[in-house]
Chains A and B, each alone.
Chain A
Amino acid sequence: MGLIDKGRAPKPLTWLLNYSRKYSLWMFQWGLACCAIEMGAALASPRYDMMRLGVIPFPASPRQADLVVISGTVTDKMAPAIRRLYEQMPDPKYVISMGSCANCGGPYWDSYSVTKGVDQIIPVDIYVPGCPPRPEALLQAIVMLQAQIQNEGIGNDQLQKRWRGEPVVIDDPHTAPVVLGPKPEPTAVPVV
């Protein structure tokens, strides 16, 4: 992908590339809580049947996936594992956050053990509101993501990073950056 690395792909090629990518999304299901059952309904029930949108929901590992759907409550204990599996996915990768819990903590907004939003640890492309969102809502999220993929240029800075796999920094001023691995030594706090 030399052209893409340089950010200079001819327009028809970009179109073709995006067109093929958007209809062959391999989706890694991250079922965490109640929303996972609705995701299951969207995937497996004959009534919704997500596979007709070109989403293949059965990759055996995150290393084969383009898209991860975080559906359910993210707890502080689970957060490092989510971060780790996200990092294992090949670039370019997309994240859908499904349900109020993954969006912002949902009904557990004041709980001591729940991470208030998965966007504190990984960047999110599409948020699906609801508790739980109906399977139709997840289907629409997929359609929106496909539109987004179709319109992606290759030259744009942020997308360059996405293709090269450089870490995407979450610059949210309200949350401290997530540090994986050994904790840094606490700096001495001046006693007032």
Chain B
Amino acid sequence: MSTTEMPSAPDFELERSAMRHLADAQMNVELDTGDMILNLGPQHPATHGTLRLVVRLDGERVIAADPVIGYMHRGYEKLTEFRTYPQITTLINRIDWLSSFANEVPFVHAAEQLMGIEAPARAQYIRTILTELSRIATFVLFLGEMGLQVGALTPAFYGFRDREHVLNLIEGATGGRFHPNFNRIGGLKDDLPWGWVSETRQVMQLVLDSCDQFEDLVVGNEIFLSRTRGIGIIPGDIGTAYGVSGSNLRASGVDWDLRRDGVPYLAYPDLDFKVWTHSAGDSFARYWVRLQETRESVRMVLQLLDGLPAGPVMAKVPRIIKVPEGEAWVETENPLGQMGYYVVSKGATGPFRVKIRSASFSNVSILPWLLRGVYVPDVVTILASLYFILGDIDR
């Protein structure tokens, strides 16, 4: 992992904001504003569900922010001990509910690794396509939602519109809009339906067009720029130290993507793609990186569709799946960041223990550091730009 130097914001901007902060502090002393505790959540539209933030304010500025998590703790790690392997995939795709398919992949890989099976090439390709589709579905929602959080309602409708297109594809292939549960240990449940490939090509064109729309509507918007530029800067080294991963880290200039740099998995080694980074590390950079990654995913899907090999989609597996004794750790690049499963098997039909490393938990662990000193309205922007899913934090 390589860390670039600290992001260089324009000096003038920095100086001006420092002066503003000083003037503000002076004003607070004069007006004698005491500390105020503001409780955001657990039910608050800006927290994407049930994150609770206890924020100590001095005037308009945050002195300390304390995330309180656990409102969505559903006990996955314990539940996996009472389920068989095929049952667990049903459960774990509900961890990060926006990109359910991508959650199943690392777990199925871990089980396959322990059993010494490999899914056929066609299954690997289809898995990659569906993973990238769920990445697109997640990111278009983000591209719209972020606009909503800075006060623009229209992008949210656009985000949901494009997500519907992609969900239709996922539903066409897997039968489930949301929680497909399409992975089997050793392959996939089914092959792609007739006509799916050409339909996917059309939808990918739609997604590309709407990315351009987002670029016009949001990225070129003066208000959006002033709400996000230079706000919530995560320097690359600090982000790495907190365990931030995925697009959030790449927006801080760290050129690290498990699809390229990790242990090779799925069909990614065959693909030609670019890992996008941005040196600024602010909320805007996070938006911009996700926008580019959506386009990159579209390109990847198109490549995969062109190179889709023929053949079966399921390897030979025993009827009752028993995983031999052993331990496996598989990590993948999920839309929200690095997700990994550490599976310990004692040779039974269910695992002995599963440790889940989910991206959002580490991504929000930076919040106390990040929110210190920002203004209250910026808290909402920063939360939105970090893009976490509560199920992924609390599991």
Q: Per-residue CB proximity of A45-58 to B under 8 Å, as 1/0?
A: 11100000000000
A107 to B89 alpha-carbon distance, docked (Å): 12
B316 within 8 A of A: no
A134→B160 contact, CB < 8 A: no
A45→B157 contact, CB < 8 A: yes
A38 to B42 alpha-carbon distance, docked (Å): 20
User: Which among B90, B157, B178, B179 has the highest number of chain A CB atoms within 10 Å?
Assistant: B178
A77→B160 contact, CB < 8 A: no
B97→A41 contact, CB < 8 A: no
| A130–chain B nearest beta-carbon distance, Å | 10
A34→B75 contact, CB < 8 A: no
- Pick the interface stretch among B66-74, B241-249, B358-366, B371-379: B66-74
B161→A111 contact, CB < 8 A: no
Q: What residues on A are CB-neighbors of B90 within 8 Å? A: 107
| A133–chain B nearest beta-carbon distance, Å | 10
B75→A114 contact, CB < 8 A: yes
For window 131-168 of B, CB contacts with A under 8 Å fall at 141, 156-157, 160-161, 163-164
B79 within 8 A of A: yes
B94→A45 contact, CB < 8 A: no
A41 to B144 alpha-carbon distance, docked (Å): 12
Q: What residues on A are CB-neighbors of B91 within 8 Å? A: 107
Interface size in chain A (residues, C-beta < 8 A): 31
Q: Which of A30, A33, A41, A45 contacts B390 (CB 8 A)?
A: A33
B94→A107 contact, CB < 8 A: yes
Q: What residues on B are CB-neighbors of A36 within 8 Å? A: 49
A110→B82 contact, CB < 8 A: yes
Interface size in chain B (residues, C-beta < 8 A): 30
A75→B74 contact, CB < 8 A: yes
| B253–chain A nearest beta-carbon distance, Å | 31
B157→A44 contact, CB < 8 A: yes
With known contacts A37-B178, A38-B178, A32–B49 Cβ distance under 8 A: yes
B98 within 8 A of A: yes
| A159–chain B nearest beta-carbon distance, Å | 28
With known contacts A78-B71, A107-B90, A110-B79, A34–B160 Cβ distance under 8 A: no
Q: Per-residue CB proximity of A80-113 to B under 8 Å, as 1/0?
A: 0100010000000000000000000001101111
B160→A40 contact, CB < 8 A: yes
Closest chain A residue to B145 by CB distance?
A40
Q: Which of B49, B70, B72, B164 contacts A47 (CB 8 A)?
A: B164
B160→A44 contact, CB < 8 A: yes
Closest chain B residue to A61 by CB distance?
B43
B50 within 8 A of A: yes
A132→B179 contact, CB < 8 A: yes
| B266–chain A nearest beta-carbon distance, Å | 24
A81→B74 contact, CB < 8 A: no
A111→B74 contact, CB < 8 A: yes
Q: Which of B70, B74, B160, B390 contacts A108 (CB 8 A)?
A: B74
B97→A33 contact, CB < 8 A: yes
For window 157-196 of B, CB contacts with A under 8 Å fall at 157, 160-161, 163-164, 177-179
A111 to B90 alpha-carbon distance, docked (Å): 15
B160→A33 contact, CB < 8 A: no
A118 to B390 alpha-carbon distance, docked (Å): 19
With known contacts A113-B74, A134-B177, A46–B79 Cβ distance under 8 A: no
Q: Which of B70, B163, B391 contacts A34 (CB 8 A)?
A: B391
A190 to B163 alpha-carbon distance, docked (Å): 60
With known contacts A32-B50, A33-B49, A45-B161, A77–B73 Cβ distance under 8 A: yes
Q: What residues on A are CB-neighbors of B79 within 8 Å? A: 108, 110-111
| B71–chain A nearest beta-carbon distance, Å | 5
A75 to B75 alpha-carbon distance, docked (Å): 10
Q: Which of B43, B49, B70 contacts A77 (CB 8 A)?
A: B70
Closest chain B residue to A76 by CB distance?
B73
Closest chain A residue to B148 by CB distance?
A44
A4 within 8 A of B: no
B97→A34 contact, CB < 8 A: yes
Q: What residues on B are CB-neighbors of A120 within 8 Å? A: none
A81→B97 contact, CB < 8 A: no
A100 to B156 alpha-carbon distance, docked (Å): 27
| A113–chain B nearest beta-carbon distance, Å | 5
| A58–chain B nearest beta-carbon distance, Å | 9
A168 within 8 A of B: no
What is B's interface to A at a CB cutoff of 8 Å? 42-43, 49-50, 70-75, 78-79, 82, 90-91, 94, 97-98, 141, 156-157, 160-161, 163-164, 177-179, 390-391
11 contacts between A and B (CB under 8 A): A33-B94, A34-B97, A44-B156, A46-B161, A77-B73, A78-B42, A78-B71, A112-B78, A113-B74, A114-B74, A134-B177
Supplied contacts A40-B160, A81-B43, A114-B75, 11 more A-B pairs, CB within 8 Å: A30-B43, A32-B49, A32-B50, A38-B178, A41-B160, A44-B156, A45-B164, A75-B72, A78-B72, A108-B74, A113-B73
